[in-house]
Structure 1
Amino acid sequence: MGQLTGKVAVVTGGTTGIGLATAKRFAAEGAQVYVTGRRKPELDTAVQDIGSGAVGIQGDISQLADLDRLYETLSRSGRGIDVLFANAGGGEFATLQEATPEHFDTTFGINVRGLFFTVQKALPLLNEGASVILTGSTAASTGEEAFGVYSATKAAVRSFARTWANELRGRRIRVNVITPGPIDTPGVSGLAPDTEQAGQLKENLAAQVPLGRMGRPDEIASSVLFLASDQSSFTTGAELYVDGGMNQV
């Protein structure tokens, strides 16, 4: 028996990096996993990698119609949601001077508006005692240069968790935040314009971590599993840092 045997889990942004590693871990622990992604080829590949009857639903969380389609698909299955990992998100570097309205709207549209409605629209399907996990960032509590808009979105995510944990306590739904430090994912590499600069960025990030390296997606997946399972049955409204000590030491 796995820790999630018989459970239904939804992972947004589940085609790569932390989302994919977590979806695979959920499936290995016995869950029926639904994953979302914007690009069909990557989504199809992820579903094959996850195995165990995983279901891929193409969509962009910033588009409310796509979220409706996700939950309509789940509703037709006749089963509620036990675990919702609202993981989809992203960001780009831009200083206060450089940031454009498009940069601001896109980042908030995905990381704040998209996440908000991902959870709101899931409410009718969330089973009593479900676990909702939001992906935060160490950037929410630091002053990283050229990352101000992204950092503000992740601060909002942290705030949501506190409020929602209080609002949903009557249904025994737990809401927590997983806060990764620098994790070696395609998303991090994509912050740099080329391979050489991506390597330099990763070296700089690793140098800031007391453990002396970047984290792996599977390490975050293990911590998300803790928040998803009964192992964290007395944990809600919390922020779990998995950052190699970056924001702790």
Structure 2
Amino acid sequence: MGQLADKTALVTGASTGIGLAAAECFVAEGANVYITGRRTQELESAAQTLGDRAIPIQNDVSDLDDLDRLFGRIADDGNRLDILFANAGGGEAGQPLDALTAEAFDHTFGINVRGTVFTVQKALPLLNSGGSIVLTGSSSARRGVAGFGVYSATKAALRQFSRVWAAELAPRGLRVNIVVPGSTDTPGLRGLAENPSHAKAMLEGMASGIPLGRTGEPAEIANAVLFLASDQSSFITGSELFVDGGEVQVYP
């Protein structure tokens, strides 16, 4: 029997990277896992990797009607949720203030903040007492990195939401925490490189600013998410768990 036996989880943004790795952890520990993503082909591939206990639902968290369909499907299946990992998000590099467009601003806030806020809100009727909500933050929220103003601001906003929700949802027996990955070798991070041939050099440059001397792996972040989702963290809420190789704490 795994840590999550007989539990039901939802992982948004689970087609690749950290979301997929977390879903793999949850399945390995006995959970049934709904996974979502915007790209159908990648989502179906992730579901095949995860096996029979994964239920894929194509979904865009920035579309509130789509969110209603997602939670309607879970309810129609007769299921409730014990774990919500609100992981879906994204951002672009190279958006300094003087080049920022309203469209880019709205897009990033629409996915990372609006999408996360209403994912959590719409999940509330299905969440069981004793359940765990985990959000994906970013170490960039603690630093002033040129060109990342909008992205880092969205992640800072989620940190504050996690504190407030921890207070609001404690009477319901729900815990809310945020996992803070540092630079992690995911398709999304590699996509920030100017072209695929530059990705390795980009990751090596990031590694030079990390005390452990390397970037993280999705499975390492997933292990932290599993801890926050499981009963091992039953007395933890409103917290940040940094999984960044020491970057923020050692080199602030």
TM-score by length of 2: 0.98
Q: How does 1:1-249 map to 2 (within 5 A)?
A: 1-93=1-93, 94-249=95-250
Deviation at residue 79 of structure 1 after TM alignment: 2.0
Runs of 4+ in structure 1 off by over 2 angstroms are: none
Residue aligned with 1:168, SS: helix
CA distance in 2, matches of 1:62, 1:79: 23
The 8 Å contact of residues 27 and 52 in structure 1, kept in 2 or not, is answered as no
CA distance in 2, matches of 1:233, 1:146: 38
Paired positions, count: 249
CA distance in 1, matches of 2:181, 2:129: 27
RMSD (Å), alpha carbons:
0.7
CA distance in 1, matches of 2:200, 2:148: 19
CA distance in 2, matches of 1:165, 1:12: 20
Residue aligned with 1:134, SS: strand
Map Cα deviations across residues 212-235 of structure 1 (whole Å, 9 max, x no partner).
000000000100000000000000
Residue aligned with 2:122, SS: helix
CA distance in 1, matches of 2:67, 2:24: 22
CA distance in 2, matches of 1:184, 1:174: 28
Residue aligned with 1:161, SS: helix
Deviation at residue 196 of structure 1 after TM alignment: 2.6
Residue aligned with 2:18, SS: helix
CA distance in 1, matches of 2:76, 2:127: 14
Structure 2: where are the runs of 5+ without partners? Answer: none
Residue aligned with 2:134, SS: strand
CA distance in 2, matches of 1:72, 1:11: 16
Deviation at residue 195 of structure 1 after TM alignment: 1.6
| Range that drifts further, 99-108 or 196-205 | 196-205
What is the percent sequence identity of the aligned residues?
A: 60
The 8 Å contact of residues 203 and 215 in structure 2, kept in 1 or not, is answered as yes
TM-score by length of 1: 0.99
Structure 1: where are the runs of 5+ without partners? Answer: none
The 8 Å contact of residues 14 and 36 in structure 1, kept in 2 or not, is answered as yes
Map Cα deviations across residues 83-122 of structure 1 (whole Å, 9 max, x no partner).
0000000000111111111110000000000000000000
CA distance in 1, matches of 2:6, 2:63: 30
The 8 Å contact of residues 67 and 122 in structure 2, kept in 1 or not, is answered as yes
